[in-house]
Amino acid sequence: AVDLRALLAEEAAHTGARVEGPAREVEGDPGLLRRLVRNLLENAARHGGGEVEARTTAEGFEVADRGPGVRPEDRELIFEPFHRPAGHSEGADGGVGLGLWLVREIATRHGGSVRCEAREGGGARFVVRLPRREPRGAV
């Protein structure tokens, strides 16, 4: 089992993100889940205007920032490989357009999902749903 709260805290130490929420365990590949978390936090730090928050939820976790946000018409496209939103030239921010694609691939592989939405007050929120770890002996 992987403790999402602990994983978020470890990765947030590299980006300065604030982490909230209770411990939450999920089943999955620890290395892949770490990559999912790292990609979201680094993306938020790069585009998020300096304020990044991560929070565990009953369904998984969220990463939110106070950057310019993602236009509604781009909220699905940003998960496509090599997609670069308007105004983001390839490599200008050190990315090539695979980070969010990989986030979605990893979430899907773990039976979950990821979506992007507007954050109240400005910015973007990425909502990741991952199946909860079943207690031992559960049917």
Structural domain total, the chain: 1
What pLDDT, in 10s, does the model give residues 62-88?
A: 999 999 999 999 999 999 998 866 655
Assigned domain for 101 exists: yes
Assigned domain for 138 exists: no
pTM of the model: 0.88
Question: For position 54, which CATH number holds?
Answer: 3.30.565.10
Assigned domain for 125 exists: yes
Contacts 24+ apart (CB under 8 A), 26-31: 26/1, 26/2, 26/60, 26/110, 26/130, 26/131, 26/132, 26/133, 27/1, 27/2, 27/110, 27/131, 27/133, 27/134, 28/2, 28/110, 28/130, 29/110, 30/2
Assigned domain for 38 exists: yes
What pLDDT, in 10s, does the model give residues 87-139?
A: 555 555 556 789 999 999 999 999 999 999 999 999 999 999 999 876 565 54
Rounded CA-CA distance 112/9 in Å is: 21
